[in-house]
Each structure stands twice: as structure tokens, then as C-alpha cells.
Structure 1
Amino acid sequence: MEELFGQFSLGLFIMQTILFLALVFLLKKFAWKPILDAVNEREEGIKNALQSAENAKKEMQNLKSDNEKLLADARSERDAMMKEAREIKDKMINDAKAEAQAQGQKLIDQAKAAITSEKNAAMADLKNQVSSLSLEIAEKLLKAELSNKDSQTKLVEKMLDDAKLN
């Protein structure tokens, strides 16, 4: 170290100091400012990118919760529609059954009425035929029986006895 101090030159030292200060000045004027601006700009860009990423993450969470809410609403609406459709189906089936039963009962009632009407008509026809046959038989019998007076008397007495019994 003594050698260094021994060779020390004050002019050289001043010259080196001036060159060093000039270099620092030039670096500060032309290099440091653009370098620092670039570093600051990059730092600002990174901050903005991080902020954008955070905003995008929040937006994605919001969209996800909105989607889940929409899905839940859609599911509940679908369930309500399905329930309503089932109720309508059941009502339609019950209405159709009731209408079919009413139609069936109406047809049964009409058939019973037709049967009763046919029965009454058949009975009336049968009565007419029986009465007409009875009249013919009675007429033939009366002609045969009334040809003599004794048989007429017996017939009248017999008819009177029969009439009292009925």
C-alpha cells in the first residue's frame, strides 16, 4: 500500500475524479433516467397486470356465483313447471275418468230405459195377444155353450163365483 501512496499523483487523481463525475453526469443524464423510466414503467405494467388479474378473478367469481344462481333459478323453475304439468296431467286424467263414468252411467241409464220401454211394449203386446186370444176362445166357447139354456146358467154362475174370488 505504501507503494500506491508513493506513486500518488494529485493531477492524475483530479483528472480521474473529473472523468468519474463526468461519467456519472452523462450516465445520469442519458442512461439513468431512461433506465429508471423503463424500470418504473415495467413496474407499473406489472402492477396493472396484477390488478387486472385480480379484477378478472373477482369478475370470474361474480360470474360463477351468477351462473350458479341462474342454474338454481332454472332448476326451481323447471321443478315448478314439472309439478304444474303433473297436476294438469292428473286433473286431465281425473276429468276424463269422471266424464267416462258419467257417459257410461248415461248409456246404462238409457239402456235401462230402453229395456224397460221394450219390456213394457212386449208386455202390452203380450196382453193384447192374450186378451185377443182369450176373447176368441171365449167367443168360441160361448157360442158352443150358449146354444142351450142350462149351460148358459151354469156358465153365468161359474163366472160369478170366479169374479168373487178375484
Structure 2
Amino acid sequence: MNFTAPESLIFWTTIIFIVFFFLLKKFAWKPILGAVKSREESINNALESAEKAKLEMQNLQADNEKLLQEARAEREVMLKEAREMKNNMIESAKSEAQTQANKMIVQAQTAIESEKKAAIAELKSQVAGISLEIAEKVMRTELSNNDKQLQLVETMLAEKSLN
């Protein structure tokens, strides 16, 4: 084989390339492919993990939202109960105050009535005393004269005998 310089260069380049290709295939190709495949699997695993984490986050957000809604509902119930308790306490205090006021009014009316009766009894007593004094004075003046005394006794006897 008689090769010229450019042909021999192509020949030896091809031979070197083939030898280099077989060496790469035997020693480097499997580890490179293994590394690429391992890298691809780790990327896929990372993507799956990210997707799972995303789903978990969505579930957690939904759970958090549900908990917030339940807490709001519970707060509303508690506020409603507190308002009802406040209103009940106010109504109870009003009715108690009204009851006390009514008792005080009844007691005051009873006291006024008893004071009124006492005043009327005292007034009657004073009027009776004054009337007796007046009658006594009138009788003294009437009975101071003998003729008038005899006339009064006869009139009383006449009235008594007619009845």
C-alpha cells in the first residue's frame, strides 16, 4: 500500500478514530450513559417530589382554609351567645329593677294609706274634742239661766215621751 501523504493522513485518522471510538465505547460510553440516565432519573424523581409537595401544599392550604372557616363560625357562635347573655342580663336587671320599683311603690302607697288613716283618726279625735268643748260652752251658757234650764228639760222630756 502506497499511500500519499493526504491519503495516509485520512487512513491514520480513521484508524485512530475507530480505535478511539471502541475505547470510548468499552470504557467511557457505559459510565457516561449511566451518569446521564442516573441524572435523568434524579431529575424525574425531583419533579415527582415537587409535584407531590405541590399537592400537599394545596391540601394544607385547603385544610387551613377549612380550619379558618370553622374558627370564624365558632367565633360567630361565641359572639352570638355573648350578645344573648348580655341581653338576658340586661332584661333580668330591668325586670328586677321593675319588681323592686313596684314593691317600693306598693310600700309607699301602704305607708301613705296608713298615714292618711292615722291623720283622719287624729283629725276626728280633735274635731270631737273641739265639738265637746263647744257643746260644753254652749250648755253652760244655756244652762246658766234657770228658766232656760227648765224649758230645755221639758222639751227633752216631751221628745222622749213622743218616741
Name the CA distance, whole Å, in 1 between partners of 2:114 and 2:34: 115
1:106 deviates by 0.9
* AA of the residue aligned to 1:85: A
* AA of the residue aligned to 1:101: Q
Task: Give me the CA root mean square deviation.
Answer: 2.9
- Structure 2 counterpart of 1:127: 124
**What is the TM-score normalised by the length of structure 2?**
0.77
Alignment of 1:64-103 (within 5 A): 64-103=61-100
Name the CA distance, whole Å, in 2 between partners of 1:156 and 1:121: 37
Q: Structure 1 runs of 4+ off > 3 angstroms?
A: 19-22, 154-157
**What is the TM-score normalised by the length of structure 1?**
0.76
Name the CA distance, whole Å, in 2 between partners of 1:33 and 1:87: 79
Tell me whether 1:139 sits opposite 2:136 in the alignment.
Answer: yes
Identity %: 57
Q: How many residues align?
A: 150
CA deviations over 1:10-64 (Å, ceiling 9, x no partner): xx69xx65x5554233213432122112211211121111111111111111011
Q: 1:40 aligns with which of 33, 37, 40?
A: 37
User: Aligned in 2, Cα 1:135/1:49: closer, same or farther, shift over 3 Å?
Assistant: same
- Structure 2 counterpart of 1:150: 150
Structure 2 unaligned spans of 5+? none
* AA of the residue aligned to 2:113: T
Name the CA distance, whole Å, in 1 between partners of 2:155 and 2:129: 20
Structure 1 unaligned spans of 5+? none
